[in-house]
Chains A and B, each alone.
Chain A
Amino acid sequence: MSEVLVMAGRSVRLSLRAGDALITALALPIMMMLLFVYFFGGAIETGGPYVQHVVPGVLVLCAAYGAGTTAMSVANDMAEAVMDRLRSLDVSATALLGGHVAASVVRNLAATVLVFAVAFAIGFRPVASPGDWLLAAALIAAFVTAMSWLAAAIGLLARTPEAASGYAFVFAFLPYPSSAFVPVETMPGWLQAFAAGQPLTQVIDSMRALLLDRPVTVLGAAFVWCVALGLAGVAAAAALYRLRVKRA
């Protein structure tokens, strides 16, 4: 356990020192939120101020961008000599990857807090009981953890850090065909089925319902998706790690 903490501490320290990359990672979701609220929001009919609608979508987008960073840092480690040292120190795969995932969750939760802060500043007014807040926090934490494990798996799949960030870009695209920014009903029919069914929509709709005091209908499905994706990420990461190490 302390091994995981040491590795997580390392990853957090390294991401705090990533300089421009850190600023971009934090600024990008904020910029996207401002972009949607002030440029597109006026044209999108959501039955209220657009900022009320868009915050959960921005949080998910944020996690998707975060996945790129995580995939890249895993790929980076795999490519470098430091991996040989860590392995010769008998650091377990759990600690190696768990450290990255833990740091990724910390990064993402920090970004989430920042998004909330800016959202409040521009008029976001959630209506939620403490219990709803708690559930919303648990859901975003579960989602971010699942994304982080998937990202770690992608980092192991890619041969180079550049390839890793390329693959992870798929994540950054997924929020658009979902309920994040525009109502699903406005999409073409063939896309509606996907957008309505995909996990991001379950997570976003649940967040929206919790934060805006609307009837919560798909929270169970959202959590199930998070757990399933997380487990898939863990299994894929473990298998890929074994493969990489054996072939090294």
Chain B
Amino acid sequence: MTVVAEGLSKAYGRHTVLDHLDLTVPSGAIYALLGPNGAGKTTTVRLLATLLRPDSGRASVAGFDVVDARSEVRRRISLTGQHAALDEQQTGEENLRMVARLTGLSRAAARERAGQLLERFALTDAAGRRVKTYSGGMRRRLDLAAGLVGEPEVMFLDEPTTGLDPRSRQAVWEEVARLASAGVTIFLTTQYLEEADRLADRIALLHRGRLVAEGTAAELKHRVAGERLELTLADADAYEHAELMLGGRIVRRDPARSTLEVATDGSGAHVRELLDALDPGRTLVERFAVRSSTLDDVFLEVTADV
């Protein structure tokens, strides 16, 4: 286990931001901390990356305690924050060389390392330009490159793709996958279910400072109905009637769109039986669709009663 947190808590004044967080990240895994704005993702990352002190609880990274062995942890991690941590008035190359020097490389070694990383992130042409002239995607790539200078065991990426165009997002995903296959443990945060689903080996759902669910994407989806029958009702009366009839079987309701969802195995027999029972006159249900559960469903379900 490369990252272990036990009962990690943090409050600002009377506002509890993280509430007894427990999590473990296996070595070499891509671990996604998924949650909406304000859930506590950045706080978690900054705690694990030794930049914040927990109020209570403990955490270790690469076997070292994040409070007692801060320097040991820092030597083995890198942090790429939510906002690009670059000097706008330095060139891309200068930024990387500075980071390389600060990780203890000699002048010559720093130059070489910077060159390699610029090449790897397709920034060689822009190496001599100041960062302030870079596009959002280029900044992100440079920021990731800066995170790799010290060849970390564990990389923390806080919302690495927020605000990126689809192509840059794709590039970041590919790089994350490549790093993981090279054995680097990746701890990333995201607001995008799709991103967690595509990228992560394990996903933790953070909601108002609490972990509300944790597991592989498949496990999480399994926790809620695997397949869903989505019914679009003809009008408000039909909606009310169907809601009454289906009762506890409803897994999701959306009165605004006049849709209800119930669990199904997806078989023709089950769908037909359900429709016949609900709507013998064939006037209430306007349309129906069968779909697989998404992480969205998981998220809505586990946060419904919190």
Residues of A within 8 A of B (CB): 2-3, 6, 9-10, 13-14, 17-18, 80-91, 246, 248
Contact A81/B94 with A88-B74, A90-B71, A91-B102 known, Cβ cut-off 8 Å: no
Residue of A2, A80, A81, A83 with highest tally of chain B CB at under 10 A:
A81
Q: For A10, give the chain B residue with the smallest CB separation.
A: B98
Contacts of B52 in A (CB 8 A): 248
Cα A9 to Cα B87 with chains together (Å): 13
Assess the B50–A13 pair: CB atoms within 8 A: no
Q: For A14, give the chain B residue with the smallest CB separation.
A: B89
Residue of A3, A82, A91, A246 with highest tally of chain B CB at under 10 A:
A82
Contacts of B90 in A (CB 8 A): 10, 13-14, 17
Residues of B within 8 A of A (CB): 46, 49-53, 70-71, 74-75, 77-79, 81-87, 89-90, 94, 98-99, 101-103, 130, 146, 150
Q: For A9, give the chain B residue with the smallest CB separation.
A: B98
Q: Tell me the smallest distance from the CB of A92 to a CB of chain B, in Å.
A: 10
Select one of B53, B87, B89, B101 contacting A6, CB under 8 A: B101
Q: Tell me the smallest distance from the CB of A64 to a CB of chain B, in Å.
A: 25
Cα A81 to Cα B81 with chains together (Å): 7
Contacts of A6 in B (CB 8 A): 98, 101-102
Assess the B51–A17 pair: CB atoms within 8 A: no
Q: Tell me the smallest distance from the CB of A39 to a CB of chain B, in Å.
A: 36
Contacts of A14 in B (CB 8 A): 87, 89-90
Q: Tell me the smallest distance from the CB of B119 to a CB of chain A, in Å.
A: 21
Contact A18/B101 with A85-B146, A88-B78, A90-B74 known, Cβ cut-off 8 Å: no
Contact A89/B150 with A10-B98, A13-B94 known, Cβ cut-off 8 Å: yes
Assess the A10–B87 pair: CB atoms within 8 A: yes
Assess the B86–A90 pair: CB atoms within 8 A: no
Assess the B79–A17 pair: CB atoms within 8 A: no
Q: For B103, give the chain A residue with the smallest CB separation.
A: A89
Contacts of B102 in A (CB 8 A): 3, 6, 86, 89, 91
**What 6 pairs between A and B have smallest CB-CB spacing?**
A85-B85, A90-B74, A81-B83, A88-B79, A81-B85, A17-B89
Contact A80/B51 with A14-B90, A88-B77, A90-B71 known, Cβ cut-off 8 Å: no
Contact A88/B50 with A6-B102, A13-B94, A81-B81 known, Cβ cut-off 8 Å: yes
Q: Tell me the smallest distance from the CB of A188 to a CB of chain B, in Å.
A: 46
Q: For A89, give the chain B residue with the smallest CB separation.
A: B102
Assess the B75–A81 pair: CB atoms within 8 A: no
Contacts of A81 in B (CB 8 A): 81-85
Contacts of A10 in B (CB 8 A): 87, 90, 98
Residue of B70, B79, B146 with highest tally of chain A CB at under 10 A:
B79
Cα A9 to Cα B71 with chains together (Å): 24
Q: Tell me the smallest distance from the CB of B161 to a CB of chain A, in Å.
A: 16
Residue of A2, A86, A88 with highest tally of chain B CB at under 10 A:
A88
Contacts of B82 in A (CB 8 A): 81
Q: For A85, give the chain B residue with the smallest CB separation.
A: B85
Contact A82/B74 with A6-B102, A88-B49 known, Cβ cut-off 8 Å: no
Assess the A84–B79 pair: CB atoms within 8 A: yes
Assess the B83–A18 pair: CB atoms within 8 A: no
Cα A106 to Cα B46 with chains together (Å): 34
Contacts of A87 in B (CB 8 A): 50-51
Cα A248 to Cα B42 with chains together (Å): 12
Q: Tell me the smallest distance from the CB of B70 to a CB of chain A, in Å.
A: 8
Cα A80 to Cα B85 with chains together (Å): 7
Assess the A246–B146 pair: CB atoms within 8 A: no
Cα A86 to Cα B102 with chains together (Å): 8
Q: For A17, give the chain B residue with the smallest CB separation.
A: B89
Return 28 A-B CB contacts under 8 Å, by A number: A6-B98, A10-B87, A13-B89, A14-B87, A14-B89, A17-B90, A80-B83, A80-B85, A81-B81, A82-B86, A82-B87, A84-B46, A84-B49, A84-B81, A85-B79, A85-B81, A85-B99, A87-B51, A88-B50, A88-B77, A88-B79, A89-B74, A89-B102, A89-B103, A89-B150, A90-B71, A90-B74, A246-B53
Q: Tell me the smallest distance from the CB of A129 to a CB of chain B, in Å.
A: 41
Assess the A84–B51 pair: CB atoms within 8 A: yes
Contacts of B49 in A (CB 8 A): 84, 88
Q: For A77, give the chain B residue with the smallest CB separation.
A: B87
Contacts of B83 in A (CB 8 A): 80-81
Q: Tell me the smallest distance from the CB of B142 to a CB of chain A, in Å.
A: 12
Contact A2/B71 with A81-B83, A88-B79 known, Cβ cut-off 8 Å: no
Q: Tell me the smallest distance from the CB of B108 to a CB of chain A, in Å.
A: 14
Q: For A2, give the chain B residue with the smallest CB separation.
A: B101
Cα A88 to Cα B187 with chains together (Å): 15
Contacts of B101 in A (CB 8 A): 2, 6
Cα A83 to Cα B84 with chains together (Å): 11
Contacts of B130 in A (CB 8 A): 17
Cα A6 to Cα B82 with chains together (Å): 25
Contacts of B81 in A (CB 8 A): 81, 84-85
Contacts of A2 in B (CB 8 A): 101
